[in-house]
Amino acid sequence: MFELAEAGNRLEKDDYEKAAAELRPALLALEQKLREAKDMAVAVLIGGVEGAGKIETANLLMSWLDPRSVEVNAFGPDDESRGRPPFYRFWMHLPPKGKLGIFYGSWYTDPIVRFASGDMKKAQFAHELEKIRTFERHLAAERVLLVKFWLHLSKDAQKKRRKKLAKDPRKAWMLATPQEHRYFKLYDEFYAASEEALRVTSTAEAPWTVVEAADRRWREATVARTLLDAMSAAMEARPAAGPKPMAVPKKKPRTALDAIDLTRTVARAVYEKELEELQADIGRLAWEALERGVSTALVFEGWDAAGKGGAIRRLTQGLDARNYRVVPIGAPAEEERARPYLWRFWRHLPPSGRLTVFDRSWYGRVLVERVEGFCRPEDWKRAYSEINDFEAQLAANGTRLAKFWLHITPEEQVRRFEERRDTPHKRYKLTEDDWRNRRKWNAYLAALDEMFARTSTSIAPWTIVPAEDKLGGRLCVLRTYRDLLKSALKKSRKTRQAVVLD
Amino acid sequence: MFELAEAGNRLEKDDYEKAAAELRPALLALEQKLREAKDMAVAVLIGGVEGAGKIETANLLMSWLDPRSVEVNAFGPDDESRGRPPFYRFWMHLPPKGKLGIFYGSWYTDPIVRFASGDMKKAQFAHELEKIRTFERHLAAERVLLVKFWLHLSKDAQKKRRKKLAKDPRKAWMLATPQEHRYFKLYDEFYAASEEALRVTSTAEAPWTVVEAADRRWREATVARTLLDAMSAAMEARPAAGPKPMAVPKKKPRTALDAIDLTRTVARAVYEKELEELQADIGRLAWEALERGVSTALVFEGWDAAGKGGAIRRLTQGLDARNYRVVPIGAPAEEERARPYLWRFWRHLPPSGRLTVFDRSWYGRVLVERVEGFCRPEDWKRAYSEINDFEAQLAANGTRLAKFWLHITPEEQVRRFEERRDTPHKRYKLTEDDWRNRRKWNAYLAALDEMFARTSTSIAPWTIVPAEDKLGGRLCVLRTYRDLLKSALKKSRKTRQAVVLD
């Protein structure tokens, strides 16, 4: 793969200047179009061997483009994730629509370095590359254009380049970083690891461009030309079908919910006693989770007025406010609309040992957005596997997840709507949306059925909460969370040493 | 101050329920008004002695209000600032306009705990309280309503409360935190420290409400009533005068800029040689700064086409992209408009050992916003002292700051505009705004004169860069930055041990 990039290509000064005179205004024009249309983002990855001119290439793009639409993201040791999955920091730095993000160091760096240095086994490396493919497919589907450059130098060219650097007082520091010398000695290992990585991740939606980097002018012209072509092709492509609301089935669809017994009730006295025990258990377990760095996330979905808020309040009542966060999910903000759908959930993931409660969640994509036609069909269709990948990353990271669907009958819902209407301090909870959603009950049932079928996994199963009886529903939620904490802590006691926080 | 809160006030169940029935819908109505008007934010601080019911009060507000407009911010040990000034994390968590932020633990916690425990001297404590007054005055001026509650318990009441907690399995964990017992033993010290803090920081714009906390019902009703009154008073108050553009003086005002010699030029060969030396020095010093955790920030202001971009590029060319960030400041985004003005700059402050380059800056407030009337007169008038406070916090934190004004003549500016117009890849840089700003040259001169006079301080002096000669201007910028790094490192070598990064 890299042999082609050792052909000795060069560009003479005149040719370079001619090319630059054409490329610069063309790139600027596209960038302006991007900024104005705001319907896609561009992520430019600059990878390659040490000394091939990665920093210079980032600087070139910064100087040729209008810096107002460019963000440079450089990644050193990970001091941002604080216990969240490794992709967290890349998610957080995704460029918004209308902008161009340059990634100097990226999601490829760690796997390649570790595999080349012998710190990662081949099977694990293959798995990491698979995760990258999934991530990039996801970005591409949400109109993040990926332009990936690999700057290549032959072993000889790299040696020459090092000699030249050592003599240039402005650049000698580049050789002084601790990893530089080590990487140089591992040239062959890096060669093999990079080739494997590029082979597996050169996909239709996110291909690599290997750039012969020995000659600065050739390198720069190649990068600029490739970026220009990729951007102009992507900006011509337009999303196909528009959003369309779901048809409401006339007949009530059969679903997993039919099997739920909604008739059982709990006596107030029994409830009070068990609630007290559960809150005490959860309070105690939550401290241990904090000490051991066991993070948890809870998803609350359910029919309007099914009692999500009340259940969340009972659950958090005994917790220290510093250690959990309730995130209500409503209509997305400007900055959220500008990024891939899951961005707004990634940003709220709990750091080490904490809890995040999502009051509505990423399942909105396959429920309300599907039913109301707030997104295009391919968006919600793709969402099941994106969601499963997302939850698998949480699980792999040790973040335990429980997902609740609070279930009631349509008759009970009406009773609760009427109660809200008639109680001054509850009136705000009832909106026109609630009545509209209600008329689409059967559409929601159909969407729910598919959701349960496709996203109830062994690592992140759904808990259907019989919430017709409010008290019983709350106990079910708290019991599930207590058991989740217990099992997570049991596992953590086995596998890790306790960490004592200061 | 606290004696009044030991009067033994109680509320009977009936009275409480009557009060709640009135307060809840009223609070909800105000909250809705807040959410819709989006012209102010509310910050509710909940402080007080251990065991007085701070968590319960936060939970009460969460359950009485619509959680969609409420954010709970709880602060434990500081793991966010990573070398930025201590107020960084409070800035980052300010509620946006239209929302209500509950602060459980706040900017008061650390000074009070440290002073009460004997870890902070009296003079330092007084200084910390003064900084808090300044911070809160700033927030209040930008329509963040501060409602501060101090929940008080007498020593006896606290003892009783602890006994009760120990017996309640749901709450016994509250006594199990390491600091709880220690704080209890220091009751008198905390009493004195808190009283001093409340006395100094009970200002007209941000008064404290001391709440007798022994009786839950009394406590809750008092908190709710106070919040209601504060919100409704603040929502009636409306900002006075609207924005107004500055008059353009007919005669050119005399300014500090008149003394700058713009006639000197540097020969290309001299420039090349010195540039190379400067870039080499800066590259080397920047690595040492990273190792020693010495952070720097640079502000670039100047006439349009004065060469800010070119100077920034020369300066960053020799740096590792992971260690610096260029932040172009244009029109603020939605999330930025929703917070106090300086928020958008706080968020970009460099973490430990890094550099942030601001391409335009917080000085926009007293330049373009003043000249064009983008803000109200009281906003830019207040800005000088807000800016000086901000820069003093950077200095106190060891973040070194240099501020550049790139100066050229109006004649040179026209030449450069025309060159931009005639060069395809520079054309995008020239906008209608540039010509408009030019017509206001004299207004800018007057604004600049006041800016230099009021914000050139010994900790953050302005450097006026003679930029008529581009080459000379760039050298001046790089020289200033090199000297800044040198002096900062010299100081750091004296005062700190070197820290070796992994």
Instruction: Dump pLDDT digits (tens) for A137-158.
Output: 999 999 999 999 999 999 998 8
Instruction: Specify the pLDDT at position A426.
Output: 82
Residues of chain A neighbouring B28 (CB-CB closer than 8 A): 425, 427-428
Residues of chain B neighbouring A66 (CB-CB closer than 8 A): 428-429
Is residue A18 within 8 Å of B419, Cβ to Cβ? no
Asked whether the predicted pLDDT for residue B453 surpasses 60, the reply is yes
Residues of chain A neighbouring B59 (CB-CB closer than 8 A): 313, 316-317, 321
Instruction: Specify the pLDDT at position A62.
Output: 84
Low-confidence ranges of chain A (pLDDT < 70): 176-179, 238-241, 496-502
d(CA B476, nearest CA chain A) in Å: 18
Instruction: Specify the pLDDT at position A177.
Output: 66
Better pLDDT: B117 or B68:
B117
Instruction: Specify the pLDDT at position B210.
Output: 94
Tokens standing for residue B428 = 């995008």
Instruction: Specify the pLDDT at position A96.
Output: 94
Instruction: Specify the pLDDT at position A176.
Output: 67
Instruction: Specify the pLDDT at position B447.
Output: 95
Is residue B76 within 8 Å of B104, Cβ to Cβ? no
Tell whether A64 lies on the interface with B, counting CB pairs under 8 A.
yes
Tokens standing for residue B332 = 């603020």
DSSP assignment of A251-282 equals: SPPP-GGGG--------HHHHHHHHHHHHHHH
Residues 6+ apart with CB under 8 A from B220: B16, B20, B57, B60
Domains belonging to chain B, first-starting first, are: 3-236 (3.40.50.300), 256-363+399-427+464-495 (3.40.50.300)
Phi, psi dihedral angles at A355 (to 5 degrees): -120, 135
Tell whether A240 lies on the interface with B, counting CB pairs under 8 A.
no
Instruction: Specify the pLDDT at position A317.
Output: 84
Instruction: Specify the pLDDT at position A496.
Output: 54
Q: CA B132 to CA B107: how far, in whole Å?
A: 7
Tokens standing for residue A101 = 């993000």
Q: Tell me the pLDDT of chain B averaged across its residues.
A: 90
Say yes or no for a CB contact (<8 Å) between A55 and B320. yes
Instruction: Specify the pLDDT at position A498.
Output: 42
Q: CA A182 to CA B298: how far, in whole Å?
A: 34
What's the average model confidence in pLDDT over B278-307?
Answer: 95
Q: Which residue in A428, A430, A499, A502 has the most chain B C-beta atoms within 10 A of its own C-beta, making it the best mutation to test that interface?
A: A428
Q: CA A294 to CA B92: how far, in whole Å?
A: 25
Residues 6+ apart with CB under 8 A from B422: none
Instruction: Specify the pLDDT at position A427.
Output: 82
At B332 the three-state DSSP class reads: coil
Tell whether B335 lies on the interface with A, counting CB pairs under 8 A.
yes
Tell whether A422 lies on the interface with B, counting CB pairs under 8 A.
no
Q: Binning pLDDT at 50, 70 and 90, where does residue B502 land?
A: very low
Phi, psi dihedral angles at A148 (to 5 degrees): -115, 120
Q: Which residue has the tokens 């709507």?
A: A417
Q: What is the pLDDT of residues B158-194, one digit of tens each?
A: 888 888 888 877 777 777 666 677 777 889 999 999 9
Chain A residue nearest residue B96, CA to CA: A333
Instruction: Specify the pLDDT at position B176.
Output: 67
Say yes or no for a CB contact (<8 Å) between B171 and A318. yes
What's the average model confidence in pLDDT over B363-390?
Answer: 93
Is residue B377 within 8 Å of B273, Cβ to Cβ? no
Report which of A472, A365, A500, A362 is spatially closest to residue A408, judged by C-alpha positions. Answer: A472
Instruction: Specify the pLDDT at position A499.
Output: 42
Asked whether the predicted pLDDT for residue B497 surpasses 60, the reply is no
Instruction: Specify the pLDDT at position B370.
Output: 95
Q: CA B217 to CA B156: how far, in whole Å?
A: 19
Residues of chain B neighbouring A328 (CB-CB closer than 8 A): 67-68
Chain B residue nearest residue A64, CA to CA: B425
Q: What is the pLDDT of residues B27-41, one digit of tens each?
A: 999 999 999 889 999
Span between the terminal Cα atoms of chain B, in Å? 51
